[in-house]
Chain A
Amino acid sequence: KQEVTQIPAALSVPEGENLVLNCSFTDSAIYNLQWFRQDPGKGLTSLLLIQSSQREQTSGRLNASLDKSSGRSTLYIAASQPGDSATYLCAVRPTWGDYKLSFGAGTTVTVRA
């Protein structure tokens, strides 16, 4: 059974600092990994999707890396802003044709102005 862990559970940084969010998974045989952002009382917004054959994906200030063999993904957010305050979730899809995403519990980020 795939288990996804996100550490730390919460993170507080001053504005302008780079953010590093970690996601680890127990079964390295994944099909893809997706990073989401969740704002309080809101739904999930997809940030980046990394296929198992990729090592990283970039979108603006966001960069996500994937190391399947070690069961890890890292989300980097450069030059953080107060608007980046949210909960960040990672989710893995086990195999091709398996529709189920296994989610971590998330890292709640607070960026102080």
Chain B
Amino acid sequence: DTAVSQTPKYLVTQMGNDKSIKCEQNLGHDTMYWYKQDSKKFLKIMFSYNNKELIINETVPNRFSPKSPDKAHLNLHINSLELGDSAVYFCASSQFRTGEGEQYFGPGTRLTVT
């Protein structure tokens, strides 16, 4: 059983395009996150939603817009893609709003912008 799933796994696109990455968790968690892992392997949080409400919005370009239709899904839409957006994007979830619980990560989406 997949706990946190993301689609697609790989995404290759050209500069200027708009793309979306989908994330779903079947753990019954209230809080979901998007992280970006750059070429140096550092993971940085981008957004966090708790029960469909945005609770973290780090300094990310407003070309990135998260959407949470329900607490089991958190999608990431990216407009006007740039070369620097190339990275691996991870979705994660945790059980408690305060973040006491462990975070469970999806397999990642490798985005390549050409």
Contact present for A103 and B43 (CB under 8 Å) = yes
Is B98's CB within 8 Å of the partner chain A?
Answer: yes
Contact present for B106 and A43 (CB under 8 Å) = yes
CB contacts (< 8 Å) of B99 on chain A: these are 31, 93, 97-99
Contact surface of A with B, Cβ cutoff 8 Å: 31-32, 34, 36, 41-46, 49, 87, 89, 91, 93, 96-101, 103, 105-106
Secondary structure class of chain B's binding surface, majority of residues: strand
Q: Which residue of A lies closest to B108 (CB)?
A: A43
CB contacts (< 8 Å) of B108 on chain A: these are 41-43
Contact surface of B with A, Cβ cutoff 8 Å: 4, 31, 33, 40-45, 48, 55-56, 58, 90, 92, 94, 98-108, 110
CB contacts (< 8 Å) of A34 on chain B: these are 102-103
Best-surrounded residue of A43, A100, A103 (most CB of chain B within 10 A): A43
> In the bound complex, what is the Cα–Cα distance between A110 and B35 (angstroms)?
26
CB contacts (< 8 Å) of A106 on chain B: these are 41
**Could you pull out 17 A-B pairs where Cβ atoms are within 8 angstroms?**
A32-B100, A34-B103, A36-B105, A43-B108, A44-B43, A44-B92, A46-B102, A46-B105, A49-B102, A87-B41, A97-B98, A98-B99, A99-B31, A99-B99, A100-B58, A101-B43, A101-B103
> In the bound complex, what is the Cα–Cα distance between A87 and B40 (angstroms)?
13
CB contacts (< 8 Å) of A91 on chain B: these are 43
Contact present for A105 and B41 (CB under 8 Å) = yes
> In the bound complex, what is the Cα–Cα distance between A98 and B108 (angstroms)?
23
- Which residue of the partner chain, among B56, B58, B90, B98, contacts A44 with CB atoms under 8 Å? B90
Contact present for B105 and A105 (CB under 8 Å) = no
> In the bound complex, what is the Cα–Cα distance between A5 and B99 (angstroms)?
22
Contact present for A99 and B48 (CB under 8 Å) = yes
CB contacts (< 8 Å) of B41 on chain A: these are 87, 105-106
